[in-house]
Structure 1
Amino acid sequence: GLPRHDWSWYLFPTDDRDSLLQRIKHHEPFTGVRKQWYYNNFMFLTQGVIAERLTDKSWEDNIRERFLEPLGMNRSNVTIEELEKSSNAAFGYEVKDDTVVTKMDYYHISGMSPAGSINSSVNEMSQWLITWINKGKYKDQEILPEAYVTEAMSSHMVVTSALPDDEFPDMHMANYGYGWFISSYRGHYRVEHGGNIDGFSANVAFFPSDSVGVVVLANQNGSPVPNLVRNTVADRMLKTEKTNWAKRFKERQEKAKKEAAEAKEESTSSKIANTRPSHVMPEYAGKYSNEGYGEFDITVENDSLFANFDLKKFYLKHYHYDIFEPFEVTEMGIDTTDTGTLRFNFVTNDGGDISFAKIKAEAALDPIEFKHTPTSIAVDKETLERYVGDYELAGTTIKVYIKNDDTLYLFVAGQPEYELMATAKHKFSFKAIEGFKVEFTESEDSSIDVMTLIQPNGTFKTTRK
């Protein structure tokens, strides 16, 4: 019942596979268990980690020893570090608006490697397909058990139950096996899978009943080429009716562009004019976290907000009210052509503070909440000592003291001690409790005599004993 949740690994990468697995329990499902198929890279990660536990070897070593070496895939590798050392390694590119071509950096997939980190070539991937077509054997050596091969390329879940369309009535069925899409291509049983990572697109397909395999690799991000070439080659090899797949794609693409342009002209923008953010820019700054994803920072540069992730940075442009649009910051500058529907919606709590940001990080779900922790500022011990003392509120003593030479704490009898985090001059937030703050007031002689407790249920003034 889980959707993809790809932002969880793509924008919050880590080499620690166990920590990635721990995120899954926090991922919200979109339907019940096994009620509907949905592709999910975390399931491939899980499979890889299970193999590590069973073999007491890393996923990378298992791939090398069990597949790359016996198949003679000598140039293929499983890490970006190995790829960068390879001779004649391809660079990846992206194309925008059919005209602007820019090089993309390799994406260091890190801990998510079991979901797709093998770097290979058409020649060497062909050896992998030969193994599948030969029911698990390569040059008379068993690489995969025949029973597994049969099971893996059989249907186990329905991807879509749609009927064939009128244009191609002989292309139907969309099911999923063990890491393979299963379909009927013009009456021929097809097993295939595609993939995409920054700058690269791929499709690997074979027709087990016809002993035909096709591998198409493209160094273009989100490219349609692998599927188009796969179909063109299949038509020739299977001697089926030939279709100009490139022409058909171009016509459909132009039609879609025209319809999108017409829809844009007819539609009215949801943007409400002449609105302003409810907070000054520094109050949006801080850390934002979600247990199923990770943590990112929002910082203020001049008068603008920026969202900083491990591998990417986004300029947050004000849309309306407390909603901002992200635009990626690249080596070329801020890419304002990359417009989409993604928004950062900052939500205020009852105390008037930014509580969390809602981001539609998963298309199948409602926006996901990232809890806000204000940016803390460093305060030296000498300054902290000015706040130390006992404060009285309706006969109750509230103690303020320093621990570890650099951290201020507050304690009330019968309650745990609360760590305070400096957010501005004389202002502190409770680190563990949202919406609770203290503000110290400086008297005319510069002494600290008053501490004000700001809580969701009210504001309470205390005086120093």
Structure 2
Amino acid sequence: MVKTLFVLKAALVLQFATVIYAGEPDSVPRDMDTILAKLKADIELARNRTGVPGLGVAIMHKGKLVFAEGFGKRNKKDPFTPETRSMLGSLTKAFTATTIGELVAEGKMDWDSTSINTYLPDFETIDPVLTSQLTLQDLLSHRTTFPSLDVSWFWGNETRRDLIRRIRHVPVNPKLRSTTNYNNVMYSVAGEAAANVAGVSIEQLVRDKIFRPLGFSSMGFTMDAMSKSSNHALPYKAASYEDAVAGRFIELPLDGMAEKSAAAGDMYSSVLDLTRWGEAVRKGGVQNGKQVLSKEGIAATLTAHTIFNPALRDPDVGLSVQYGMGWVLGSYKGNNLYEHGGRVFGYMTDLAIFPNAELVVAVLTNSDVTGLPAYVKFQVADEVLGLRKTHDWLAVDAIATTAALYNIYDGLAKGNFPEKVPNKPPAHELGAYAGEYFHPGFGSIVVRLDEDELHISYEAFKGVLTHYHFESFTTVLSHGTAVEIGQLLIFRTGANGKVSGVSIEAMSAQAIFTKRQVKSPQATQHPSEYHSRHAHTVVMAQSQLSFRPFHVVQL
């Protein structure tokens, strides 16, 4: 399912995919209470039709909280309320960028003159020149060409610094991009650089620079911390769109998926504090008439640096959508729009700021396969701002997008493999494929033979290998019940006639993992322990250039 294992950026891209005709505002007299009552009914109907267990929606207009409602359930029995805390996913990125803006305002960092390596010597790339050139702005605007490294970061056992040291082994094109190459790990690197400069963790730095000055009491980091609140949402998934609409959900565990990538997507909040955050950003860091955050820092995050989606579209929503630093920048029917979506392990979120219209819309859900969060803001803008209605975003577009997402993820779980060549057995006995395969940038793949069946572990993901043809095997890699994606592995034979390596294909890209000599008979039984002990002790051949492991979240 993402970005990619979950389809990265799916919610952000799909919400702009429909051609829109923007007309004149409605001229009929409007009663706000009636509008909001209808909006409440429309959201509840859409929640049921898109199969979302629970969600919270808050709206701030002209500096006043005009709407704060919960819908459905946050767990099996309790209602989802405006106070319910839910994971934010990639909405965290704006907090990270703004926190760094505070350090820039204090003269401790700068956006685009000093290399990241100066702030964080552990960060190096395979190209020394590129290492000396990459800046905070490059990483925070997704301008680099690094492939996704999410698989080895999410649910990871190594420290952040150890994971960052791996990056020096990852092949990368040194030419920076003008289009957005969304990368969670680059945000993690930027966050760790800021933490290194400040001498505290990135989590503590965000608390010090944003949570406390703005008085956010429901915000924090990690699922574990969120679970200690008496009012938090549990994550859910459904096997199909039909199951979701029928309310047949699987409850997912609260685990530490994104803790190593805290700067990219490990925050939680209620819609109340999330809306207050949007209002503070809209006002350039001013709260209650006081300049609380750096005005210049926030302005920098809201300045376009890369093109998020260059596809031509109706002029009323802009010819393209840009990316600042932690914010997607666009427009809707003539109104400027700052926004970002988030998706992580059973949660999907959306925060939209219409700065000129003085409108902020926050949405939190406890399902991560739904088009609903991305479309609520458009329906709200139409209703609250009195824009001419051109779509029924909730009754039509949200439902169609949700059904399409379930189909996409079902296809990813099945895999996209070449046509099978029949009667082409493997070249070796199954036991010959067992062992550890290592890449210094992407981690370890461990294959073990168990009762005539090959099992694979790739970092925190597991699966069963099924022979396909020749030296190719297929598997469905998964982490518990949350993530599934079909993968094709192609084993390689060395000059000595023995299995020497394996390449794993993900989204038409590839990397080669080299088989290692296993001294301990237990090595293939405990891959995480073995990997952490040996991850950085052997220099291996570099992979082919374009390996892109699947993303696990839309952070």
TM superposition shift of 1:127: 1.5
Which 10-residue stretch deviates more, 10-19 or 151-160? 10-19
Structure 1 residues 208 and 14: alpha-carbon distance in aligned structure 2, compared to 1, 3 A threshold: farther
**Alpha carbons 2:440, 2:539 under 8 Å: kept:** no
Q: Quick check: 1:218 aligned with 2:365?
A: yes
The corresponding residue for 2:374 is: 227
Structure 1 partner of 2:237: 94
- 2:353 paired residue number: 206
Matches within 5 A, 1:246-285: 246=394, 247-251=396-400, 270-285=419-434
Amino acid at match of 1:20: L
Answer 1 or 2: which has greater helix percent: 2
TM-score, normalised to structure 1, is 0.72
Hey, what's the Cα distance between the residues in 2 that align with 1:217 and 1:433? 45
**For residues 300-449 of structure 1, what are the structure 2 equivalents within 5 Å?**
300-328=449-477, 340=486, 342-361=487-506, 363=507, 366-377=509-520
CA shift, 1:198, in A, is 0.7
Query: Structure 1 residues 74, 255: closer, same or farther in 2, change over 3 A?
Result: closer
1:305 Cα deviation after fit = 1.1
Which amino acid letter does the alignment assign opposite residue 146 of structure 1? Answer: K
SS across alignment from 1:343: strand
1:130 and 2:279 correspond: yes
Structure 1 residue 97: deviation in Å?
2.1
The 3 A distance-change label for structure 1 pair 53 and 259 is: closer
Q: Deviations over 1:35-66 (max 9, x none)?
A: 43211112211221121122111111111122
The CA distance in 1 between the partners of 2:442 and 2:409, in whole Å, is: 33
How far apart are the structure 2 equivalents of 1:183 and 1:111?
A: 30
Deviations 1:96-116 (CA, angstroms, capped at 9, x unpaired)? 321153222234122211111
1:139-180, Cα deviation, whole Å (9 max, x unpaired) = 234332112222211211122322214xx8545421111111
Which residue in the other structure is 2:217 paired with? 74
Are the aligned partners of 1:12 and 1:293 in contact in 2 as well (CA < 8 Å)?
A: no
Q: Distance in 2 between matches of 1:270 and 1:31?
A: 35
Q: 1:196 to 1:256 in 2, by over 3 A?
A: closer
AA partner of residue 58 (structure 1): S
Q: Match of 2:509, SS?
A: coil
Higher relative CO (CA 8 A, sep ≥ 6), structure 1 or 2?
A: 2
Where is the strand percentage greater, Structure 1 or Structure 2? 1
Tell whether 2:266 aligns with 1:121.
no
Q: Equivalent residue of 1:25, what SS?
A: helix
RMSD over aligned CA atoms reads: 3.2
Q: What amino acid is aligned across from residue 87 of structure 1 in structure 2?
A: S
* Count of aligned residue pairs for this structure pair: 371
Q: Partner residue of 1:34?
A: 177
* Amino acid corresponding to residue 214 of structure 1 in structure 2: V
State the shift of 1:310 in Å: 4.5
Is the alpha carbon distance of 1:194 and 1:432 closer, same or farther for their aligned partners in structure 2, counting shifts above 3 Å?
Answer: closer
Deviation sequence 1:391-418 (CA, Å, 0-9, x none): xxxxxxxxxxxxxxxxxxxxxxxxxxxx
The question of 1:85 aligning with 2:228 is answered: yes
Does the CA-based 8 Å contact 2:437-2:502 persist in structure 1? yes
> 1:387 aligns to what?
none
Could you say which residue in structure 2 is the equivalent of 1:105?
253
- Report the Cα distance in structure 1 between the residues aligned to 2:338 and 2:437, rounded to whole angstroms: 42
Q: Which structure is larger by alpha-carbon Rg, 1 or 2?
A: 1
Q: Aligned partners of 1:350, 1:129: CA distance in 2, in Å? A: 60
For 1:89 and 1:256, the matched residues in 2 are separated by 26
Note the alpha carbon deviations across 1:74-99, whole angstroms, 9 max, x for none: 12211222112111211111223211
In 1, Cα distance between the equivalents of 2:276 and 2:407?
Answer: 43
- How far apart in 2 are the matches of 1:72 and 1:258? 42
Change (3 A) 1:107 1:181: farther
Q: Identity over the aligned pairs, expressed in percent?
A: 24
Look up the match of 1:5.
148
* Contact 2:145 2:177 survives alignment (8 Å): no
User: Against the structure 1 CA distance between its residues 195 and 376, is the aligned structure 2 distance closer, same or farther, given a 3 Å change threshold?
Assistant: same
In structure 2, the residue corresponding to 1:69 is in which secondary structure? Answer: helix
Q: Please tell me whether the aligned partners of residues 2 and 28 of structure 1 are also in contact (alpha carbons under 8 angstroms).
A: no
Residue 516 of structure 2 aligns to which amino acid in structure 1? Answer: T
C-alpha displacement of 1:321: 1.6
CA separation in 2, counterparts of 1:58 and 1:255? 39
TM-score, normalisation: structure 2: 0.61
**Cα distance in 1, alignment partners of residues 381 and 228 from structure 2:** 34
| CA shift digits 1:177-218 (9 cap, x unpaired) | 111111111111111111111111111110111111111111
Could you list the runs of 5+ residues in structure 2 that have no partner in the other structure?
1-143, 411-415, 523-536, 541-555
Question: Aligned to 2:192, which of 32, 42, 49?
Answer: 49
Unaligned runs of 5+ in 1: 262-266, 380-430, 435-465
The equivalent position to 1:156 in structure 2, one of 305, 315, 328, is 305
